[in-house]
Every structure is written in C-alpha cells, then in structure tokens.
Structure 1
C-alpha cells in the first residue's frame, strides 16, 4: 500500500505542476494584451504611475523579459500565496478575496457533493438489491429524470417556486446583511437558511447519477458466484447484500466520483451564480465580467488543484477497497 501511495503522490504532484504551469501561460497566450486590459481597467478608478503600469506589463507578459524569468518569478510569488492585487476589488489582494469566498464554496459544494454520493450510493444499494420492487420501479425513473436536468435550470426553478412564489427561502445572497458576520447563533442560522435552497438544488441534480450507476452494478454483482455462495452458506441477507455484493459493486462508483468531481464543481458554480451565493462561482463570474486577470488566474488555479486533491483522495480510497489496484505492473 505504501508503494501505491508513493506512486499516486508522485503522479498528482506532476499533474499539479502542469496545472500551475498552464495557469501561468494562459494569460500570456490568450488573444490581446492582458496587461493593457488591466491598465485600462485600473485607470478607471485611479490614475496609474508609469512605474505601476510597467509593473503590470511585467507581471502579465507585456515585457521583453524572457518567459523563463517570468515563470521563475511567478513560482516564487505562488510559494508566498501572492497572486497580486484584484482590479475589481482594488486595492484588496487576490489572496484575501479568494480566501473570503472559498470557505462558502467548500462548505456548500463539499458537503452537498459528499452527501449526494452517500445518498445516491445508499439508495442504489437498496434498489439494486431488490430489482423490480415497487421502490425500484418508482425511484429509478424519477432519478433518471432528475439526473437529466441541468443544474442552472433546477436552480432557476427553485428560485421561482420556493423564493418568489412561496417565499420560503431568500432569493439570493449568503446571509442576512443586517446580521454582523461572526460565529454567532444568529449569523450561523442566517447562513444555513440562505444555503438550504442552493444545497437542495445541487443534491437533487447530482444524487441520481450515483443511484442509477450503483443500482446497475448491484444487479450485475448479485449474480456473481461468490455472492451466490454466501447465500448458499446460509448467511443473513443483510450481510450478503453489504459485505459481499455492495463492497464490490461500489468500486466503479468510487472511481466515478474521482472522474466526475470536475463536472460537479462546474455545475455547482453555476448554481452559485444563480443564487448570487458568496462563493467561488459568483466570484469567478465577477472576475470574468470585469476582466480581473489576477483574480481569474487565482480562481482557475484553486479550482484545478481542488479537483486534483479530490481525485487523489478518491484514488487512494479505491486502492484501499480493491487490492488489485495496488499491483505494480
């Protein structure tokens, strides 16, 4: 297992370095001149000195310095978590802007993604263990229909029905503006109230895929010889269902979790934009709208590294569940 983890860590370190390098190159390879766009954007709020304009050109490729020197400087600033100054939130540093939004996204999307996986997989085990039952005939078509709905459409429908018509939940935002931010019962209660509708939207749109995949794998696995042997030995049906069938049927779902994290994050960010939730999705929308290149660059890097971290965790769990994945070929 240790050799397997070392190989996985080495692979994801190299992949992370590639993501960091691409994040450096994209602003310098995209059409136009990002440096001049930034200078124009910042000049609307306050005049820039020639030295400040030269520093921006140096940072974003508008300079005659070799690309390798710029890359080394970029890595040095990245090691200090220095992403520059945000133009849309000037003069606030990018690290502070992202740090204030990332916790909202981690709590909302992280919790709902794991919950959707657990709920969908658990229901898939139940309906897959008894295919053709009344629960299966109802839950499977419903989950297939829900899984086909786009995130943003479900979010818009939820706002229309539960916020505008029924007025059960707030329309947008992350907390009541009249309540000061802090770890107080009033603020936490307000944040939970504002997060319920976005969380339910993400959960409804994503759990069905896990249910459908787990159900099909359970049906296939239940016909394997080792499962039939457990039944023939007189083991309790619950033990056969979970210890024999479900333990092996869940392996593709774990692998699927690793590969679909990127899609889940992308759809969830769209949900944040619909609800104007103060997370990374809304921040990305503001950065793109205002051509805030330092903020966009930092957000792209955070999202890429977060997806890689989730893939690494899922990949490691898969190796723990299936010893065959740890074999060195």
Structure 2
C-alpha cells in the first residue's frame, strides 16, 4: 500500500510541475497571439480590438498572471479548454483534439507497440543465440537505423515508394474523394496512407529495443538461476522465455514508458512530413500561430500520456518482480 501511495504522490506532484511549466513556457515565447492574429487575417484592427476578439476565446492577458494561472489549472482539470485562437479561429479545442487524436493513437500507438513487441522478441532470440546468424548482422545494422532522423527516413520513403515507384500515397490520412465511413474502400485508403509514416517510425525505433534486449539477455543468461535451470534439464524454450527473458525485460519496461516522450516528439516530425492530421501536426500549427489554448492542451496531453505510462510501468514491474516493491 505504501508503494502505491508513494507512486501516486510522485505522479501528482510531477503532473502539477509539468502543468505549471506548460503554462509559463508559451508565454515566454517571442511574439503574442495578437500579433499572430493580425498578421494572419490581414486587417487593420487596433491591438485593443484584436485583444477583445481573442478574449472571447479565453485569451485574457490583462487579467494578471496569477489569475490566469489559477484559471488555467481549473480549466485543464475540468476539460474547459476554450477555443482555438490559431488557424482554426473560434473552433473548440476539444473538437480539434477529438478529430486528431484517433489518427495519432492509431498510427503512433500501434506502431510503438509493434516496434516494442518485435524488438523484444528479436532481441531475446539474438541474445539467447549469441554469435548466431541473427546476432551476427542484426546489431551492426540496427546501430545505423536506430540513429536515423525521423524526417530523413520519411522523405526517403516518399521519394522511393510514392514519387519513383508510385506504389503508395505520399501524404494525408485517406483519399479525400472517398466518403469517410466503415466501408472497405475507406478502411483500405486509411491503411494505405498509414504504411509510409508507420514504417518510418518502425524503422527508427525498433533498433533500440532489439539492441537493449539483446544486451540484457546476454547479461541474464550468465546468471546462476539460468544455469540452475539448465542443470535441471528444462527445455531451452522454457528457460529462454520463462527465466531469462522475463528478467531481462524488466529494464525495457521502464525504458518503454520513458521513450514514449521521444516517440511523441518524433511523431510531430513524421506527421508534418506526411501531412498527417494528427496531434503532432496540430501541435506544430499551434506553436507556429501562438495558439495558446491548443498548445497548452496538447502539451498537457503529451505529459499525461508519458506520466501514465511511467506509472503503469512501475506497477507492471512490481507484478513481474515483487522485489521492486521493497526498492520503491
């Protein structure tokens, strides 16, 4: 029980600190929403008139920093996220999030899980059969792919499969000529448009999981309990997965939660390269247009996603290894 209370307390404190930074950082950025709106709509309204327009969407800089901060915390926690003051001027932020979230969750979420699962399985086999065929060429290849920039891989795939071979569409999330719905044509179009961005994320992220799991397996295989299992005559498959892999995977579980932030930051570049209308694409537009309400909500959602993943990883590690409860 003490472990749970301690972890939940740390989660709440970290969330409060992140939300506080989320409030102040956009306000230290150069420019302000009034200037951005004036440049975008190209009207000769006075700054006071533009500020009055923005105040109707929740942007009230004259209210004072502390009242703004308290209002911000209340709105973030209650879901009163206001309206966009960027490109989607006047559109509720909640609607923008609901439209973009399924695309990011489907693309980034599924690809991240697949990369983690495939990377761990390949790393288990490579580490267990050290010096074998898989272990001979895999590490050297993945050292390169794991350090390739997201945007470079994306543009290379577009050049090869979209421009040169014309096999796959280069951008967007589905064919705009197809009516959205649960029809085979629409679902096929969505999957077809997701191939290149998903493969970009897979190529750049799977290498780290394979290399980490391989090294963990090599260390674990040398432990006494693995030698004892072999001395008992247990099957290699049972020793590999039931003894070695279960313990070697513990560091990767924490790594998976911590790497979620890097995956989300990479998704911004991937979605921008492929013009994919997910949360990362919306975040970039919000930053470019000083859209405080949308920017703050997206940063908050990214922060919550990482913190929840870390909390879940802590609880999952305790379930796999009760000794972690005493260390926590």
Deviations 1:85-119 (A, max 9, x none): 22211221122112211111011001111110100
Deviations 1:196-252 (A, max 9, x none): 111111111101111011111111111111100000011111111111111111111
Give the counterpart of 1:72 among 54, 70, 73: 70
Deviations 1:97-149 (A, max 9, x none): 12211111011001111110100000000111010011211222222221121
- Distance in 1 (alpha carbons) for counterparts of 2:48 and 2:147: 54
Deviates more, 1:200-209 or 1:18-27: 18-27
For normalisation by structure 1, the TM-score amounts to 0.91
Distance 1:158 1:7, change over 3 A: same
Shift of 1:57: 6.2
Matched, 1:9 2:8: yes
Do 1:214 and 1:249's aligned partners in 2 also have CA atoms closer than 8 Å?
yes
Deviates more, 1:71-80 or 1:125-134: 71-80
State the match for 1:62 in structure 2.
61
Shift of 1:185: 2.5
Distance 1:259 1:11, change over 3 A: same
Shift of 1:50: 5.5
State the match for 1:211 in structure 2.
210
Deviations 1:50-71 (A, max 9, x none): 67724746955631x4432222
What is the correspondence of 1:122-271 to structure 2 with a 5 Å cutoff? 122-271=121-270
SS of the residue corresponding to residue 91 of structure 2 reads coil
Do 1:27 and 1:60's aligned partners in 2 also have CA atoms closer than 8 Å?
no
Do 1:121 and 1:211's aligned partners in 2 also have CA atoms closer than 8 Å?
yes
Distance 1:240 1:45, change over 3 A: farther
Distance 1:208 1:39, change over 3 A: closer
Distance 1:198 1:233, change over 3 A: same
Do 1:98 and 1:280's aligned partners in 2 also have CA atoms closer than 8 Å?
yes
* Matched residues, number: 326
Matched, 1:316 2:315: yes
What is the correspondence of 1:112-127 to structure 2 with a 5 Å cutoff? 112-127=111-126
Q: Which runs of 5+ in 2 are unaligned?
A: none
Do 2:119 and 2:210's aligned partners in 1 also have CA atoms closer than 8 Å?
yes
Do 1:146 and 1:208's aligned partners in 2 also have CA atoms closer than 8 Å?
yes
- Distance in 1 (alpha carbons) for counterparts of 2:99 and 2:199: 23
State the match for 1:37 in structure 2.
35
Shift of 1:79: 3.3
Distance 1:79 1:205, change over 3 A: same
Distance 1:175 1:310, change over 3 A: same
Distance 1:297 1:203, change over 3 A: same
Shift of 1:179: 1.1
- Distance in 2 (alpha carbons) for counterparts of 1:174 and 1:73: 36
State the match for 1:82 in structure 2.
80
Shift of 1:18: 1.5
RMSD in angstroms over aligned alpha carbons? Answer: 2.3
